[in-house]
Amino acid sequence: MEGRQTSLGIPRRKFNGLINCLEFHPKNEWLLGVGGANDGLMIFFDVTAKKAIKQDKVPMHIHRAVLNADGDSFIVAGHGKIVLYEMKG
């Protein structure tokens, strides 16, 4: 593939598993990566600083995430579940 490649320089993650889906914040404030192994994981990336902002373990492997237009909530779909997350602060 041609073009410039830039690594986010992801530090060692707290949790194991593949990143299955990436979703940009509507205002490009951060990038959400979701996936997992048996359990799930969510990682929020600051793309400008090239670092993980927050990493959370969730009770299901996540296949897909979709942010709402304001970027203050998102829906994830995983093994037998669809979950709405609302962000505070």
DSSP one-letter code for 7: -
pLDDT of residue 13: 58
Q: Beta strands 18-24 and 51-58: pairing type?
A: unpaired
Measured distance CA(68)–CA(72) in Å, rounded? 7
pLDDT value, residue 3: 60
Return averaged pLDDT per consecutive 10 residues of the chain, 89 residues in all.
Answer: 58 72 90 89 89 88 93 91 87
Element (H, E) at 16: none
